[in-house]
Chains A and B, each alone.
Chain A
């Protein structure tokens, strides 16, 4: 799990989000009963998202101020006068409430200040530059992993207890038990070094550079999706409404795809949400192995260096991403499962 470090760190920083997420889940129930429109629902959710972000921002800000040390304390010895000059330059000498208000004000303008560790680099720009590769890799891995995983899971469930099923289970177990960095190293050695089919590392050849890290990252979601889809499909295929579909004269193909598939996807979406967040926000280890300038690597470095602006910026970026993904997942639920459709209600 260490490759998900940024994600778990983030979760620790934002315990609050989870709670407020629970609050707006309760709220959703209320909305369903009230039968409000989708637009109204989304507006409400966005307002809650803003409140959540505000809480995260405040919480992270004060947490960091409570940490011992500052970015300057790790610098080579400075005289008190020099220290005062530097602190004044970065606004660290002002009283805490004032810093806080100023900080929030800047954040509204999407201005997270300048980095301490990279001289004068604008944090917003830094995150945008770094998030690009991470985001691309994450999305590619997510799409590849889920699609292949769903196919594997479907095949396993439809051909239960045959060679197909055992084969798919084997792949899933490999995917879950082999850490992605081992897989990455093996790929690098054979595909990159021995056969010279793809660039071994770095982020220079566009799409070709992204193929191997994508595969290495996709193994995890693939295995998860395959296991979930197989279990769910088997359960759904044994349900009464599948028997009724068969009694109507539906063929095996129709039963599997028209009736079972959609119902089997519902629990998969639940796991895909957090998985997507973890993937999209970057995988530290895979980024390191392939020397990809991603955001995960930078986040950990910033924490070690007490680089407040970058930590704050990245936390906010992760928060926005995760909250958005949660919103998308909730909307997806409604699309797939009419029982939790938000616009529903008896007319």
Chain B
């Protein structure tokens, strides 16, 4: 499939009073046309920063892009001028934010807010833009759009506001839609509606989505591929089945183990011990080593490279090195792996007579 976005060895830092925070320490991934890539990881792992870097939305005065490229349409986004960037934002790449209660301007009608990117990027009259805004509201499932466009954000519920934010993001049929935890602030029934909406809209306009979340349930629902981030780096990337049923990195094991499940009634919910690394002085080796019971000496000394698990699945852990000892993942992960053809614990369904 055609690649639409390539992030190559991205490194960036924030200059703060406390010193240089190395927020992103070498991130590589690509995004293919029409797919949904989920980026998961705990708070502070660099998920949001990575995507904001793609749109160049980080504060200019204290952000330093130290290395790497973000290639969109053959151009390096990091080298574009602010003016050129304005032409890309909202037209080719657009974004949905976490909190719909604060991401709309309270003193502007929603109609105006939806029309803004249309008027900005498409050569249309005000009347046409208004028509388009009404269509968009209809598309995201807002009843009575002709009346609603004259209203202000406070006259809508949280779920309705997120629909409006989605309408704004889709106004110019973007190639890439970045959704930064779009359902985190919504209650569960609304979450499901918004996810369904995003999936159906993606099919209609064939856009690629980068979906940031820390909710693995959402990931399983929407993603084609998953990138797991930890300490400013991607530690594992692969198809959604590969990540869920054949995870290789101890951090991914930890994440999956700490996911509550309905069948495990009496078991205590697993929590990853320790705290995320301090990116003011990031650890030398594998950032997760200090919290991992599988850590080896080399994890403390040298950062692991990506090891190939399959053509689509890579993980940055020394456990995959040919010389590494074989370790047993947690029982709950082994249970998962048993269901994945190609994993070393795979058990065929029909009593093991699988060939």
Q: Name A residues whose Cβ lies closer than 8 Å to a Cβ of B.
A: 161, 239-241, 243-252, 258-259, 262-263, 336-339, 344, 346-347
Contacts and interface: CB of A to CB of B under 8 A. Distances in A.
B237 interface: no
Contact of A249 (B90, B104, B154): B90
Nearest to B112: A258
B169 to A, nearest CB: 8
Nearest to A262: B107
A245 B97 CA distance: 11
Nearest to B86: A249
B106 A244 contact: no
B106 A241 contact: yes
Nearest to B156: A346
Nearest to A241: B105
Contact of A339 (B61, B82, B154): B154
Nearest to A260: B105
A243 B103 contact: yes
15 contacts: A241-B103, A245-B116, A246-B89, A247-B90, A248-B90, A249-B86, A249-B87, A249-B117, A249-B121, A251-B86, A259-B108, A337-B106, A338-B106, A339-B154, A346-B151
Contacts of B116: 245, 248, 250
A344 B107 CA distance: 13
A240 B87 CA distance: 20
A248 B120 contact: yes
Nearest to A252: B82
Given A161-B61, A244-B165, 19 more contacts: A240-B102, A241-B104, A241-B105, A244-B104, A247-B55, A247-B94, A248-B89, A249-B88, A249-B89, A249-B91, A249-B121, A250-B116, A251-B86, A262-B107, A263-B107, A339-B152, A344-B155, A346-B151, A347-B147
A337 B82 CA distance: 31
B99 interface: yes
Contact of A244 (B82, B86, B103, B154): B103
B255 interface: no
A336 B86 CA distance: 28
Contacts of A243: 57, 97, 103
B168 interface: yes
A239 B103 CA distance: 8
A250 B86 contact: yes
A244 B164 CA distance: 12
Interface in B183-219: none
B120 A249 contact: yes
Ranked nearest first, the 10 interchain pairs of A and B with the lowest CB-CB distance are A249-B90, A248-B90, A240-B102, A249-B89, A338-B152, A240-B103, A248-B117, A247-B95, A241-B105, A262-B107
A236 to B, nearest CB: 10
A241 B57 CA distance: 13
A249 B105 CA distance: 15
A346 B155 contact: yes
Interface in B91-131: 91, 94-95, 97, 99, 102-108, 116-117, 120-121
A252 B90 CA distance: 15
Contacts of A247: 55, 57, 89-90, 94-95
Contact of A248 (B94, B102, B147, B154): B94
Contacts of B108: 258-259, 262
A110 to B, nearest CB: 40
Interface centre among A247, A250, A346 (most CB of B within 10 A): A247
Contacts of B151: 346
B51 to A, nearest CB: 11
A339 B90 contact: no
A337 B165 CA distance: 20
